[in-house]
Structure 1
């Protein structure tokens, strides 16, 4: 018997590719997936800005209502096709999950809850004013989790952080990467690893990413001509990172790369830099860029945390969170031995192919739908 799933919400796969991986994996696993999506057009940084400046909240409400009216109209048009077995509410769906519950009262609602609102508030130091904002974020999380039948998280550490009653109805699905990344990686591995070593970081410069740690490592490596690094993106810690790495002439700063160009872009590098922050969130997650870098045939260099060690052990170089010295040493080691670096590139790709393709990632969701 076929399974019909509706991917629902205001998610944006160009900003947060996680839901694209799940949709692709569900389809690869034999499910029929239709999308009812109206992107909100506000990434995490924009939402954080609204929390910092509450007078912008009416703008968020208006945009959300406009998107919701489109979602509701589309859902009503699709009613003649029958009730879906499940509804997948995409990442950053803390509000969308309530609309999904209202429109699909008899379907199983899955909420992709990779990051909690309270976690974002704490990481970005938004919990001032006597903790009022943090309490509000916790309430938003609690209401969203109550509205979902099944909660999807990306690591066992994230699962353990859920309330006990929610933990029992949660599943763990790694972030993974879409087919485009694996295609780019297969082509990239035909290219040898040579000096100078080419490394790339792609991110929003949040405290979880720890860009100042990377920049400090680049300052340590300022005189090492064997290593060239490209830093892609902007965000909260961008200015600090640029200041710290200012003395290294082999650092290139790129404002952004479009999502459709990113797989081939990253595959052109030998090393993909992960996350190095020390905030609580950084110790519980494995970022998109780790899976994407491995799928693109790059050596993944990231922090040595329990979830990343579990996912990448033997196929990455892991350094202590927050340690610019260890990061600099890891990059120097790769530059010193290009043959070893190439073996690590191959190992990363092989591990991603075995465990982190879309189908492998989404298998737990299909299993839960078929066997509630």
Structure 2
């Protein structure tokens, strides 16, 4: 008998996290219902009325309800509308941690900080089951918001990109070794260290950097570039996802994140999964979160956090080491095919909650 899950909220269905979960549930035999509104079109309280109207017209009662990211302000509403099904909350990021601690958008003693903390706490306690992206993040949520860690389940971010299984052209067949980074210029990404490492490698004529994106720290990065004046970096504006895939495909090395914040140590960013799926060597900071999945010199290359000298050293060493490039490519392909396909990611989660909630889930 087919089972049904309702994705509920104001989520972007095309965002990688939500795409992976959708594909994963479908691959495990679920029919996926979408009960969502666009928060830009229906802001404020009106989104609740629109969600109510969609809920009222649902023809099938779901077995599970997933409040998709971002859904902190909607878990209570899902609980109200769906009193019987298991309510799963994707606590992909903490509002308080992201906005107050990491990005420092406002003071931790402001009313906005209190609002974010309360929304985190309230949504986490209301949900029956919580999912997040790493065990490190699970431990943070459990400690910070006083919830049982047994309630939290890890589902790696993964990627919606179709894995590359074709042969990869190594740098020996190319004139330039291209180092790629894309991001939203937030503190945990540590773009400053990428800029500084590029400056250190400026005299390498066949090594070029490409940095794509913009965001919170754009002014800071612009000022740093004006000060250092590196000549080996190409800056591009934000790209569509299809364009990003094309740019990653052109690269010889994909960079992850290198920030020094606590949050940076608890996440594995989308760009790492995207690089792995496209069978590219990936270099990212050595943190507890990435070690949950990745192994240095096997399927990824690690560098120290916040250390431009170490980052530059690792980039140059990899450029000159074709056997290691081949190992990282092979390791990435094996990891993506064996552990990171959406069907398997969701299957492991379903097996756990079925065991723990057998009396409610049938």
TM-score between the two structures when normalised by the length of structure 2? 0.89
Q: 1:66 to 1:191 in 2, by over 3 A?
A: farther
Question: Which of 84, 90, 113 lines up with 1:106 in the alignment?
Answer: 84
**Could you tell me which residue of structure 2 aligns to residue 310 of structure 1?**
292
**Could you tell me which residue of structure 2 aligns to residue 280 of structure 1?**
262
Tell me the SS of whatever aligns to 1:294.
helix
**Could you tell me which residue of structure 1 aligns to residue 28 of structure 2?**
29
Deviations 1:113-158 (A, max 9, x none): 0210110111112452745443332111011112211000111111
Distance 1:334 1:149 in 2: 46
Tell me the SS of whatever aligns to 2:141.
coil
**Could you tell me which residue of structure 1 aligns to residue 219 of structure 2?**
239
Deviates more, 1:299-308 or 1:252-261: 252-261
8 A Cα contact 2:168 2:279, kept in partner:
no
Deviation at 1:295, TM superposition (A): 0.5
**Could you tell me which residue of structure 2 aligns to residue 324 of structure 1?**
308
8 A Cα contact 1:193 1:339, kept in partner:
no
Deviations 1:317-347 (A, max 9, x none): 1011111111111111122123422331221
Q: Residues 36-115 of structure 1 correspond to what in structure 2 (within 5 A)?
A: 36-41=35-40, 63-78=43-58, 80-81=59-60, 83-115=61-93
TM-score between the two structures when normalised by the length of structure 1? 0.87
8 A Cα contact 1:124 1:207, kept in partner:
yes
Deviations 1:261-296 (A, max 9, x none): 433332221211111011110011111111111011
Distance 2:130 2:19 in 1: 17
Deviation at 1:259, TM superposition (A): 2.1
8 A Cα contact 2:139 2:149, kept in partner:
yes
Q: 1:273 to 1:39 in 2, by over 3 A?
A: farther
**Could you tell me which residue of structure 1 aligns to residue 347 of structure 2?**
363
Deviation at 1:235, TM superposition (A): 0.9
Q: 1:126 to 1:66 in 2, by over 3 A?
A: same
Does the alignment pair 1:227 with 2:207? yes
Distance 2:38 2:262 in 1: 29
8 A Cα contact 1:5 1:31, kept in partner:
yes
Distance 1:37 1:301 in 2: 36
Tell me the SS of whatever aligns to 1:34.
strand
Q: 1:65 to 1:130 in 2, by over 3 A?
A: closer
Tell me the SS of whatever aligns to 1:349.
helix
Deviates more, 1:191-200 or 1:101-110: 191-200
- Structure having the higher helix fraction is 1
Deviation at 1:260, TM superposition (A): 3.6
Deviations 1:80-105 (A, max 9, x none): 32x21111111121012222112111
Runs of 4+ in 1 over 4 A off after TM superposition: none
Question: Which of 241, 250, 258 lines up with 2:232 in the alignment?
Answer: 250
Tell me the SS of whatever aligns to 2:214.
coil
Distance 1:169 1:239 in 2: 41
Q: 1:255 to 1:315 in 2, by over 3 A?
A: same
Does the alignment pair 1:119 with 2:97? yes
**Could you tell me which residue of structure 1 aligns to residue 320 of structure 2?**
336
Q: Residues 101-250 of structure 1 correspond to what in structure 2 (within 5 A)?
A: 101-120=79-98, 121-128=100-107, 130=109, 132-163=111-142, 164-178=146-160, 180-182=161-163, 185-187=164-166, 189-194=167-172, 195-246=175-226, 247-250=229-232
User: What RMSD, in angstroms, separates the aligned Cα atoms of the two structures?
Assistant: 2.0
8 A Cα contact 1:98 1:147, kept in partner:
yes
Distance 1:274 1:39 in 2: 30
Q: Number of matched residues?
A: 346
Deviates more, 1:127-136 or 1:355-364: 127-136
Tell me the SS of whatever aligns to 1:128.
coil
Q: Structure 2: where are the runs of 5+ without partners?
A: 358-362
Deviates more, 1:232-241 or 1:130-139: 130-139
